[in-house]
Amino acid sequence: MISLLWSITIVSLLATLIISVYGIVAKPNLVKKLIALTIFGDTANVLVVLLGYRVIYPVKPPILPELSKRALGEFVKTAVDPLPQALVITAVVIGMAVNILIAFAVIQIYRIYGTLDVREVGKTLPELLRREEA
């Protein structure tokens, strides 16, 4: 039962990764690509945190409950791995800053080309360049 639930979790996260890669590659709209990219990043973060989880009971967050050496042994027996969590925190916030950069670029593309469709952008670019030459 435990391994079934664990494998459902992992497989559905992997399926979400595949769906979001499909969204990044196949959808022509730039905002939709940004949404898919964020879902991809979030799912990857959940998978990384999953690496540090321990399927035991009771399981505790990696924060010392009291400042005495007596509690340390019990703490190490029950706490999850703190390293993936520390790496994911920076990834969440920095990923957001990078998303903001992409968002600004998307708005600027819309101002220049008047469209968010990558196929249209590809067609409009040669026209714009030719107009400048003329």
Which of the residues 66 through 125 are near other proteins (CB under 8 A)? 67, 69, 72, 75-76, 79-83, 85-90, 92-94, 96-101, 103-108, 110-111, 114, 116-117
Nearest distance from C-beta of residue 67 to other proteins, angstroms: 6
Tell me how far apart the alpha carbons of residues 30 and 63 are, in angstroms, rounded to a whole number.
Answer: 41
Tell me how far apart the alpha carbons of residues 97 and 91 are, in angstroms, rounded to a whole number.
Answer: 10
100, two tokens: 């903001």
Nearest distance from C-beta of residue 87 to other proteins, angstroms: 8
| Interface positions, 24-53, toward other proteins (CB under 8 A) | 27-29, 31-32, 34-36, 38-39, 42-43, 45-46, 49-53
Nearest distance from C-beta of residue 73 to other proteins, angstroms: 9
10 Å Cβ neighbour count for 76? 9
Residue placing its CB nearer to other proteins in the complex, 36 or 126? 36
54, two tokens: 């321990």
Nearest distance from C-beta of residue 127 to other proteins, angstroms: 14
Tell me how far apart the alpha carbons of residues 38 and 23 are, in angstroms, rounded to a whole number.
Answer: 11
Contacts of 59 (CB under 8 A, 6+ apart): 53, 78, 79, 80
13 binds other proteins (CB under 8 A): yes
Residue placing its CB nearer to other proteins in the complex, 4 or 133? 4
